[in-house]
Copies of this chain bind each other. A is one copy, B any other.
Amino acid sequence: MSTKNKILDAAESLFADKGFNGTSLREITSLAEVNLAAVNYHFGSKKELIKAVMSRYMNELSPNLQASLLVICQQENKPTLNEVFSAFIDPLLSLNVFRENGTSNFLQLLGRGYTDSQGFLRWFLTTQYPEVITNFVTAVQRAYPELSAEDIFWRLHFTMGTVIFTMSSSDALMDIAKSDFEQQVDIADVIRKVIPFVASGVGAPLR
């Protein structure tokens, strides 16, 4: 395995766990068992390393998600909101095949991107991968045409909040569920629990 990939793998799990600010290049290179200077040789800076970690996932997820949403948008019958949100399940879970713990790592990283580092990652994602958002909005509009553009805007942000926050504390939540309820849950279970919640929230009656 190349040095570059060893760094990406180590950075990914440390970033997901401790945030971007909370992780030093020294921790990354020592977990990756490569030299400290290698990060700057291969990526130029810590900021570029963060982008590279996220891009590796987005390039894997984005086409799958596009395809999945396209099916929803092009089907004859009007989709339900549950169907729209369920379109995320397979693309997200396929990240687990792509990389060990891929789904939860990716979603945690996404959460970090919105809270760490004053939104530079949010800017990066929305400018580099805008189609994902556009397609999603279209799908929601088909499912619930009475929702105004403003309401879609607000409720989609509520949805992102629910998912991102849940995923960024998913390890802790799964631990609590295990100790308090003897409930053994994995990331797929969490996704299946959160979808009815957000679908119902987005579909809430208007005033």
Contacts and interface: CB of A to CB of B under 8 A. Distances in A.
A117 B153 CA distance: 30
B22 A116 contact: yes
The A contact surface, by secondary structure, is helix
Given A199-B204, A204-B196, A204-B199, A166 B177 contact: no
Contact of A166 (B118, B157, B196, B203): B157
A176 B201 contact: no
A162 interface: yes
A158 B18 contact: no
Interface string A152-189: 01110110111111101100110011001101000000
A203 B200 contact: yes
Contacts of A164: 161, 165
A201 to B, nearest CB: 4
A11 interface: no
A202 interface: yes
A130 to B, nearest CB: 13
A91 interface: no
Nearest to A176: B153
Nearest to A173: B157
Interface of A: 18-19, 21-22, 111-112, 114-119, 122, 149-150, 153-155, 157-158, 160-166, 168-169, 172-173, 176-177, 180-181, 183, 190, 193-194, 196-205, 207
25 contacts: A19-B21, A19-B115, A21-B22, A22-B118, A111-B115, A115-B115, A119-B172, A122-B172, A154-B173, A154-B177, A154-B194, A158-B162, A158-B166, A158-B194, A160-B165, A161-B163, A161-B166, A161-B169, A162-B162, A162-B165, A196-B207, A197-B201, A197-B204, A200-B205, A201-B201
